[in-house]
Structures are given as structure tokens and as C-alpha cells.
Amino acid sequence: MNERNEVHADAAQVLRSAFAGDGAGVVGAFETTADRGGVEAALALAWRLAAAMVGDGLAAGPWRLDFPDIEHAAYDARWVARFLSAYANADRSTAAALFRAAQVDGKLEACLLMLAGSAVATMKRRPGCA
């Protein structure tokens, strides 16, 4: 299986776990991805989840996403907002910096759980999604 297909399969596993409310499954899928391909593979998986949230057809930025009172939100919520902003602006270097910062801060697991949960919540609001 090529790297792109692996990322899609990993993202599908994360989303299945998140839809089922299985936080351990979400974390396990990210850990399996990281074990197989390192931090870069886990970052690619998070990037794919951001793509699932944003959906198809995003016009090229620059985008400024407005998250009222974001500075008062919990670390993981701020991280997800900033990661989505990086995705919307096709800014992989900022996304990588956010990923590394969350790792150093010991918050990456919580951030990835928040990202997966946010992706599921967003997808559930789309027409035709159960």
C-alpha cells in the first residue's frame, strides 16, 4: 500500500473510532501511524482529518478564520483552531510547528482527540451523514 493510501486508511480508522466514541481507538490509530512512519506520518494523518472537516472545494486562501474568544479556550481547542487555519491556508510548516509544540507540551494526544472529535461533529452536521 502506498503512503497516500495508508494515510486514507488510517484516517478512516480514526474516524470510525471517533464516530464510535472510542478515544483509545483514535489514539491507537495515531500511534500505529507514528510507529510505521514517524511523526511526519502522524502529521499527515492529522492533515487528512483537517481535510475531512473542511471538505472539498476550498478556494485558495489566504484565509483568516475567526474563532471568537479563542485565547480563553482550552489548549486543545486553540490547537485545533490553529491547525485548521494552517490547513485552510495550505501552511504545512505552521501545522508541523503546532504538532511539534503540542508534543513538547505533552498535549498532542488531547489535541488529536479534539481534532478527531471535531471532525466527526462537523461531518455529522453535513447533509446525508449519519
pLDDT in tens, the chain (130 residues): 677 778 888 888 888 998 899 999 999 998 999 999 999 999 999 999 998 888 766 666 666 666 778 788 899 999 999 999 899 888 999 999 999 999 999 999 999 999 999 988 887 877 765 5
Domains in the chain, number:
1
Cis peptide before 62 (omega within 30 of 0): yes
Position 26 in a domain? yes
Q: Is residue 130 part of a domain?
A: no
Task: Please tell me the predicted confidence (pLDDT) of residue 10.
Answer: 87
Q: What SS3 state is found at 39?
A: helix
Range of the structural domain that residue 77 is part of: 3-124
Q: Is residue 117 part of a domain?
A: yes
| Measured distance CA(116)–CA(23) in Å, rounded | 9
Cβ 98 vs Cβ 86: under 8 Å: yes
The rounded distance, in Å, linking the Cα atoms of 31 and 87 is 22
> Does residue 107 lie in a domain region?
yes
**Model pTM?**
0.85
Tell whether 104 is covered by a domain.
Answer: yes
| Closest to 116 measured CA to CA, from 5, 6, 3, 20 | 20
Within-domain flag for 17: yes
